[in-house]
């Protein structure tokens, strides 16, 4: 009898202790960064680690001071195991967290000292909790996870229960709603970081909602009933807990994890590079809330479109070298979508663009696609899917597309806009603007206004498109110049006064098979046929010409540190801020596109050597996280 009991326990123990950190990544994770060589992170302080954006979902515990002056090495983390950072979102819930190996649990809880041991959710695991963060330990691996119910879904459920109980929704009064809207620009947007107050001081996370103006469900004296937000909190808590239980069971009991169900991640995890990443775009497509209507109204069409996106996964490797960091990114797709990309990316490199890229640029890209071939392939692949749908509206749309395709001369449309383009960033220049100045009469003290010339710092951009029909943009520009004096034909170029930010002229050059927009007066006035000997030469030209559909080059020191913050929204600013202070160059080269994949090689070469490779790696992960989560 004893033997019968001992065997499963021994097997369970062996199995648990043999488990690796990558075996407990939830299957709902859409993005995964896995750091193989985390020994390089030994020098990274915990304070630095928790300041990264990808850690913000878990920060309430980590910002409480227990991390002060400690490194990852002090936290009992196993450096022989991978550290896997994950994020996932679907129409039901959002998860984020990381998995890691553990060598010393006591040290771990010196850092995670606010976690309280709770009753295990599933047998064979230890469960610790701190507010919204959950730490599960099984054997020598840990999963730190946060689970949030989708806010739209939560509102929907709460509203339905609230209304079913016979109460009005808190915002049902239009006037109140209007006032709240108008007040927004008086009030600061709530700080995203719940652990910091306005002054940047650390505070305990506030988990209570402001319920001051919430109408009570019933008589306020009757505390048996909850108000709207209390009801919402209860539902959120219950849903998130149930979801956590499901995820825990999947991972630790049923052994269903992302690595087990997705061989592409499993294969990527076998790579010996310093880090790998995985982004399942097909699930991002399926989980988009906006497709809910499509799914409900046209299930067949939704299924077919899903099929089209199947296999759309981005996989990558990060390799740290002495003076470079290499990123190899593979964009994989299914056969049908791949066939469209293959046609789209079959364009030849347009050498004319090189004339307009100056030697002293701080960044540029070239992008060549064959829009005509891509359109024809897309027509061939997508139209049968749409044509199969019996719905009258879709059928009418199919007819419209077919008629347009027959009546319009698509050859000439795609001759005008071929799809290929290039762009350059030429740094910051002082550009001329106009402003109104007040003056007053010394005798009467009456004031007057006069227009004077002024100068502003402006980032200088150029964007050009390949065209085989320069007469078409010319026709449009001539028409524009007839209806507004702001459009002027200057011979070699056109100018549109006050086009940018209502203040700065935009120049248009229509020559050499290119239609170019720029705010660079020098390019328009002095180099409308290209920069000549001052144009780009050498290795970068060869690399751009050899590249597939995309080539990009950035001089980080010049570009990132000089790009004006005021032209960026908060998300782009965060991405930029995450790269500030870096020097060196980034080069992106793409391979020829096949039906299965396109490969991109990104090389980040920097000045000198890195003192702390781990920090560079985390900076890169953070930038990739910000880009992929699109917050």
Partner 1 sequence: MRILLFGLLIFTLSSCVDIFDEIILHADGSGTYKYTINMSASKVKINSILALDSVDGKRVPKLPEIKEKIELYRSKLEEKEGISNVKVEANYDDFIFKISCNFDNVTDLQNGILEIVKEESKDKNDPAFDENWLSWDGKTLIRTTPNFQSVIRKLKAEDQEKLKEGKYISVSRFDKTVTKCDNGQAQISPTKTAVLIKSSTYSVATNPSALKNTITVAN
Q: Quick check: 354 and 536 in contact, CB under 8 A?
A: yes
User: Measured between alpha carbons, how far is residue 233 from residues 115, 239, 619 in Å?
Assistant: 21, 10, 35
User: Measured between alpha carbons, how far is residue 586 from residues 16, 186, 259, 601 in Å?
Assistant: 42, 41, 31, 10
Considering the rule CB under 8 A, would residue 450 count as an interface residue with partner 1?
A: no
Site pattern 532..571 for partner 1 (x: CB under 8 A) = --------------------------------x-xxxxx-
Considering the rule CB under 8 A, would residue 404 count as an interface residue with partner 1?
A: no
- Rounded-to-integer distance, Cα 476 and Cα 545, Å: 32
Considering the rule CB under 8 A, would residue 174 count as an interface residue with partner 1?
A: no
At 606, list the tokens.
Answer: 């920097």
From the list 323, 393, 435, 542, which residue makes contact with partner 1 (rule: CB under 8 A)? 435
Burial 262-277 (b: 16+ CB within 10 A, else e): bebbeebbebebbbbb
Q: Which residues pair with 496 in a beta bridge?
A: 487, 506
* 491: region left, alpha or beta (phi > 0 left; psi from -120 to 50 alpha): left
Residue closer to partner 1 by CB (options 183, 219) is 183
- Rounded-to-integer distance, Cα 421 and Cα 35, Å: 36
- Among the listed ranges 82-90, 307-315, 439-447, 530-538, the one in contact with partner 1 (CB under 8 A) is 439-447
- What number of chain residues touch partner 1 (CB under 8 A)? 34
Place of tokens 């049908």: 336
- Rounded-to-integer distance, Cα 580 and Cα 480, Å: 41
Considering the rule CB under 8 A, would residue 502 count as an interface residue with partner 1?
A: yes
Q: Quick check: 549 and 593 in contact, CB under 8 A?
A: yes
Least distance from partner 1 to the Cβ atom of residue 357, Å: 26
Residue closer to partner 1 by CB (options 253, 567) is 567
From the list 438, 471, 611, 630, which residue makes contact with partner 1 (rule: CB under 8 A)? 438
Residue closer to partner 1 by CB (options 3, 436) is 436
From the list 1, 3, 221, 436, which residue makes contact with partner 1 (rule: CB under 8 A)? 436
At 620, list the tokens.
Answer: 């890169």
Considering the rule CB under 8 A, would residue 407 count as an interface residue with partner 1?
A: no
At 550, list the tokens.
Answer: 């995309």
Least distance from partner 1 to the Cβ atom of residue 567, Å: 5
From the list 45, 352, 410, 433, which residue makes contact with partner 1 (rule: CB under 8 A)? 433
For residue 258, the tally of other CB atoms under 10 A from its CB is 26
CA dihedral 102, 106, 108, 113 (to 10 degrees): 150
Considering the rule CB under 8 A, would residue 574 count as an interface residue with partner 1?
A: no
* 111: region left, alpha or beta (phi > 0 left; psi from -120 to 50 alpha): alpha
Residue closer to partner 1 by CB (options 216, 459) is 459
Considering the rule CB under 8 A, would residue 460 count as an interface residue with partner 1?
A: no
From the list 68, 440, 478, 580, which residue makes contact with partner 1 (rule: CB under 8 A)? 440
Considering the rule CB under 8 A, would residue 182 count as an interface residue with partner 1?
A: yes
- Rounded-to-integer distance, Cα 623 and Cα 611, Å: 19
Considering the rule CB under 8 A, would residue 199 count as an interface residue with partner 1?
A: no
From the list 218, 291, 454, 576, which residue makes contact with partner 1 (rule: CB under 8 A)? 454
From the list 106, 322, 444, 485, which residue makes contact with partner 1 (rule: CB under 8 A)? 444
- Among the listed ranges 25-33, 78-86, 450-458, 617-625, the one in contact with partner 1 (CB under 8 A) is 450-458
Q: Which residues pair with 184 in a beta bridge?
A: none
Considering the rule CB under 8 A, would residue 445 count as an interface residue with partner 1?
A: yes
Residue closer to partner 1 by CB (options 74, 497) is 497
Considering the rule CB under 8 A, would residue 458 count as an interface residue with partner 1?
A: yes
Least distance from partner 1 to the Cβ atom of residue 631, Å: 12
Considering the rule CB under 8 A, would residue 428 count as an interface residue with partner 1?
A: no
- Rounded-to-integer distance, Cα 594 and Cα 509, Å: 35
Listing DSSP states for 33-67 in one string gives: EEES-GGGGTTSBHHHHHTSGGGGGGHHHHTSSTT
Least distance from partner 1 to the Cβ atom of residue 576, Å: 13
- Rounded-to-integer distance, Cα 69 and Cα 546, Å: 49
Residue closer to partner 1 by CB (options 176, 456) is 456
- Rounded-to-integer distance, Cα 289 and Cα 513, Å: 42
- Among the listed ranges 118-126, 253-261, 449-457, 583-591, the one in contact with partner 1 (CB under 8 A) is 449-457
| Positions that interact with partner 1 (CB under 8 A) | 182-189, 191, 433, 435-438, 440, 443-445, 447, 449, 454, 456, 458, 498, 501-504, 564, 566-570
């Amino acid at each position: 009898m004893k033997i019968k009991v001992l065997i499963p326990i021994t097997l369970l123990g062996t199995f648990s202790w043999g488990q690796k950190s990558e075996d407990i990544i939830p299957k709902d994770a859409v993005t995964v960064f896995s750091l193989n060589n985390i020994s390089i992170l030994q020098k990274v302080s915990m304070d630095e680690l928790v300041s990264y954006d990808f850690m913000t979902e878990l920060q309430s515990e980590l910002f409480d001071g227990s991390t002060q002056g400690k490194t990852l090495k002090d936290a009992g983390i196993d450096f022989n195991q991978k550290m896997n950072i994950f994020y996932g979102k679907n129409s039901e819930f959002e998860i984020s967290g990381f998995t890691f190996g553990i060598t010393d649990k006591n040290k771990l809880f010196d850092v995670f000292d606010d976690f309280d041991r709770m009753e295990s959710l599933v047998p064979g695991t230890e469960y610790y909790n701190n507010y919204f963060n959950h730490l599960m330990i099984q054997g020598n691996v840990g999963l730190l996870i946060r689970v949030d119910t989708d806010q739209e879904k939560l509102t929907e459920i709460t509203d339905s229960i609230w209304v079913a109980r016979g109460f009005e929704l808190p915002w049902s009064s239009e006037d109140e709603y209007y006032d709240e809207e108008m007040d927004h620009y008086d009030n600061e947007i709530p700080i995203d970081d719940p652990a910091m107050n306005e002054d940047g001081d650390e505070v305990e996370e506030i988990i209570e909602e402001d319920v001051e103006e919430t109408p009570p469900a019933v008589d306020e004296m009757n505390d048996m009933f909850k108000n709207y937000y209390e009801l919402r909190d209860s539902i959120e808590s219950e849903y998130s807990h149930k979801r956590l239980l499901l995820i825990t069971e999947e991972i630790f009991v049923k052994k269903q994890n992302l690595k087990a169900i997705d061989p592409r991640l499993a294969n990527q995890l076998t790579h010996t590079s310093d880090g790998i990443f995985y982004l399942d775009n097909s699930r991002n497509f399926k989980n988009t809330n906006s497709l809910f209507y499509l799914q409900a109204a046209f299930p067949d069409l939704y299924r077919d479109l899903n099929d089209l996106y199947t296999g759309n996964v981005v996989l990558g490797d990060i390799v740290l070298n002495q003076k470079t960091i290499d990123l190899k990114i593979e964009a994989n797709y299914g056969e049908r979508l791949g066939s469209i990309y293959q046609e789209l990316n079959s364009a030849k490199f347009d050498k004319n663009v090189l004339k307009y890229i100056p030697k002293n640029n701080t960044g540029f890209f070239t992008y060549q696609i064959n829009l005509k071939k891509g359109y024809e392939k897309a027509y061939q692949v997508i139209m049968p899917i749409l044509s199969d749908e019996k719905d009258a509206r879709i059928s009418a749309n199919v007819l419209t597309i077919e008629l347009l395709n027959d009546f319009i001369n698509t050859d000439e449309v795609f001759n005008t806009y071929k799809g290929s383009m290039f762009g350059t960033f030429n740094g910051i220049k002082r550009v001329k603007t106009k402003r109104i100045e007040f003056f007053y009469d010394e005798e009467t003290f009456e004031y007057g206004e006069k227009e004077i010339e002024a100068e502003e710092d402006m980032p200088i951009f150029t964007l050009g498109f390949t065209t085989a029909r320069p007469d078409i943009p010319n026709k449009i520009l001539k028409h524009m110049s007839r209806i507004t004096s702001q459009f002027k034909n200057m011979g070699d170029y056109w100018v549109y006064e006050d086009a940018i930010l209502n203040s700065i002229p935009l120049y248009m050059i229509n020559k050499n098979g290119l239609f170019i927009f720029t705010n660079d007066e020098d390019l328009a006035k002095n180099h409308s046929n290209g920069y000549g000997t001052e144009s780009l030469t050498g290795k970068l030209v060869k690399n751009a010409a050899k590249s597939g559909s995309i080539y990009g080059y950035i001089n980080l020191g010049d570009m990132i540190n000089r790009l004006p913050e005021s032209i960026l929204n908060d998300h782009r600013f965060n991405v930029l801020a995450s790269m500030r202070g870096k020097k060196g160059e980034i080069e992106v080269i793409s391979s020829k596109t096949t039906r299965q994949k396109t490969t991109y090689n990104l090389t980040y070469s920097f000045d000198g050597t890195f003192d702390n490779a781990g920090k560079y790696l985390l900076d890169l992960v953070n930038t990739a996280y910000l880009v992929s989560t699109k917050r």
